[in-house]
Amino acid sequence: MKKVLLAILFAITSIVIAYLSLQNTDITIPFLHPTAKYALWAFLIGALVTISLPLGAIAGLVFKPNAKTTAIFTAFGAGALLAALSVELIAPTVEEIIGHSNSPTGMAHDKMHAITTMGALIIGCIAGGFLFYTLDELINSKGGFLRKVGSTISHIIINKKDSSVIDEKQIDLAQKQGAETHGGAPMAIWLGLLIDGIPESFVIGAGFLALLAAKLAIPGTDPSFTEVLPYTLIAGLFLSNFPEALSASMGMKKSGMSTAKILFMWMSLVLIIAIGALIGYYIGSSIPHVIEIGIEGLAAGAMLTMIAQTMIPEAVHLGGARVVGLSTLIGYLSAVAFKLLE
């Protein structure tokens, strides 16, 4: 346990040092091409956003917050994530579509571009939602529902033969039986966490690329690291990752998983999502704009489905509708407020 905690602290310290070193420097390493430099920034942003995963896991395992506190954190995170998606992904695309459809020149290709872009966004969102649902159900059938309370609730609802209210005893029983049936299902749990994180990684890369492109469009501009940070997106993802890991880690511990294995799972996701952000940056910078919009829609649709399917039901079950409503609102407004930093 001590070795794992030391490794996590070392990783956090390294990321913070790297962030501080890039924050106030205008020096470009001679052998580092601008594209490679920006790719490194995308990787670093991905790591900064997801470092809240192991931090949330540690908080859950050490402090063991009660159900109401967990519900408040989860609903707050859901609101923050909704803000990140709506403000940083959906809104810019809609503004672009409106701009082209209301083009003062009235050119036919402007209206066609608006229709094509809107179609790519809608198709991407629908495909992302169905893809997340399908993969989530597939992994849950192998024991992946053990990763969090929300996915356990979904698993119980699907397999219930009556309409009775789900209580804490049913959830604990389902997790215990699932752990016995699937042997703890560590790989299914990890894959479940991964499908939650992959869309996030592409959203990070795409959000960073959009802001970077806007800065580079200004002639003679060489933006610094802090000038291309999508603060609302970072805040929304960071604030949503923390309660997700907090709640999920307590559920994993109840199912009999060791502390070291739980923390290793979260740390591995930090690395994978950071790499995914880098890949998202490269893909977004090398494909047609309409396809990029479709991929962003795919990621947004998957994440919106995840919020509605796991985070909100979990928060409502643990804390009640009143707590969830206000906490979600506060989380949404908190993430939106970070827009002032851009």
SS3 content of the chain, % helix, strand, coil (to 5): 85, 0, 15
Burial (CB < 10 A; 0-12, 13-18, 19+), residue 299, is buried
Give 146 or 208, the one with higher predicted confidence: 208
Q: How confident is the model at residue 28 (pLDDT cuts 50, 70, 90)?
A: very low
Helix axes 312-319, 321-337, angle to 10 degrees: 130
Whether the predicted pLDDT of 24 surpasses 60? no
Rounded CA gap, 210 and 88, in Å? 9
How confident is the model at residue 325, as a pLDDT? 92
The residue whose two tokens read 């810019």 is 92
Count of CB atoms situated within 10 Å of the CB of 281? 27
How confident is the model at residue 182, as a pLDDT? 56
Whether 318 and 162 have beta carbons less than 8 Å apart is answered as: no
Confidence (pTM): 0.79
As a whole-number percent, the residues of the chain with pLDDT over 90 amount to 15
Count of CB atoms situated within 10 Å of the CB of 320? 13
Instruction: Please provide the DSSP assignment of 183-220 as one string.
Output: TT-HHHHHHHHHHHHHHHHHHHHHHHHHHHHHHHTSTT
Whether the predicted pLDDT of 299 surpasses 50? yes
Rounded CA gap, 44 and 49, in Å? 9
Instruction: Report the range of poorest mean pLDDT among 53-67, 174-188, 205-219.
Output: 174-188
Give 30 or 125, the one with higher predicted confidence: 125
Which structure tokens are listed for 251? 């559920």
Rounded CA gap, 177 and 159, in Å? 13
How confident is the model at residue 328, as a pLDDT? 95
Q: How confident is the model at residue 180 (pLDDT cuts 50, 70, 90)?
A: low
Instruction: Report the range of poorest mean pLDDT among 28-32, 94-98, 336-340.
Output: 28-32
Whether 206 and 284 have beta carbons less than 8 Å apart is answered as: yes
Whether 71 and 315 have beta carbons less than 8 Å apart is answered as: yes
Distance linking the first and last C-alpha atoms of the chain: 39
Q: How confident is the model at residue 333 (pLDDT cuts 50, 70, 90)?
A: very high
Model confidence pLDDT, tens digit, residues 75-92: 999 999 999 888 887 887
Count of CB atoms situated within 10 Å of the CB of 206? 27
Count of CB atoms situated within 10 Å of the CB of 26? 8
Rounded CA gap, 176 and 171, in Å? 9
